[in-house]
Amino acid sequence: MNEKLAKLLEAVEYGKVDQKSPYPPNLKGMDGAHELTQQALDAGIRPQDILEEALIPAMGNVGRKFSENKIFVPQMLMSAKAMGASMAHLKPFFASGKIKSRGTFVIGTVKGDLHDIGKNLVAMMVEGAGWTIVDLGVDVDAGRFLEALSKNPGAVVGLSALLTTTMTNMGEIVAKIKESTPDTVIMVGGAPVNMDFCRKIGADFYAPEPRGAVDFLNQLAS
């Protein structure tokens, strides 16, 4: 692996946000995700490769260690913070495709769920594909999706969930949206979600990753 990407992967995995950050103590004074991402971009590494070869594998390692009780929530949070510092550099590249809006995409992480990294990535990529984004944030209930739809009639809705306990809230949200505006197209995604679950709850599409989400939306718009 490219040395710069390997260092970035390590910084995100261990939650080193930037050079000034005192955490983790063994990386004190060293560059963090903020500096290393800029260095990778300066070296001509593609933003997509930074994402796919460093950031996403880093979070995968974090998740595995959390499952094995080798790290705990505070460490996970620091990794998420480091990932955010890196993503801030990548956002302009993914969101630069703004010409004429292809439509509006209302996205949120469902009720009870605070994970927003994947949701933010999807929003970033969809924005880059020329859609207007209404990002409702995390812990979003059906009422807030309905309110956003009343302000943005005809918008496509995207629901994200990362927990097996909150993916079930997707069903309730889909049912309420379909009851109020049956023609609303709803896409679901997030690690525990799959196509069977999507069909079961009456959503229209499941995208395992942002590329699939963009392809689906672009097909709708064409």
**Beta carbon nearer to ligand B1M, 29 or 135:** 135
| Shortest distance, position 120 Cβ to ligand B1M, whole Å | 8
Q: Which of 15, 32, 47, 190 binds ligand B1M (CB under 6 A)?
A: 190
Does 88 bind ligand B1M (CB under 6 A)? Our answer is: no
Does 164 bind ligand B1M (CB under 6 A)? Our answer is: yes
| Shortest distance, position 168 Cβ to ligand B1M, whole Å | 11
| Rounded distance between C-alpha atoms, residue 4 and residue 213, angstroms | 29
At 111, phi and psi to the nearest 5? Answer: -45, 130
**Beta carbon nearer to ligand B1M, 40 or 126:** 126
Q: Which of 160, 174, 177, 201 binds ligand B1M (CB under 6 A)?
A: 160
Does 114 bind ligand B1M (CB under 6 A)? Our answer is: yes
CB atoms within 10 A of CB 33: 33
User: Contacts with ligand B1M in 39-58 (CB under 6 A)?
Assistant: 56
| Rounded distance between C-alpha atoms, residue 213 and residue 39, angstroms | 29
Does 163 bind ligand B1M (CB under 6 A)? Our answer is: yes
Does 60 bind ligand B1M (CB under 6 A)? Our answer is: yes
| Rounded distance between C-alpha atoms, residue 53 and residue 99, angstroms | 29
Does 77 bind ligand B1M (CB under 6 A)? Our answer is: yes
Of 13-21, 26-34, 88-96, 185-193, the window that binds ligand B1M (rule: CB under 6 A) is 185-193
Q: Which of 115, 169, 184, 214 binds ligand B1M (CB under 6 A)?
A: 115
| Shortest distance, position 154 Cβ to ligand B1M, whole Å | 17
Residues that bind ligand B1M (CB under 6 A): 56, 59-60, 62-63, 66-67, 73, 76-77, 79-80, 107, 112-119, 121-122, 158-160, 162-165, 187-192, 207, 209-210, 213
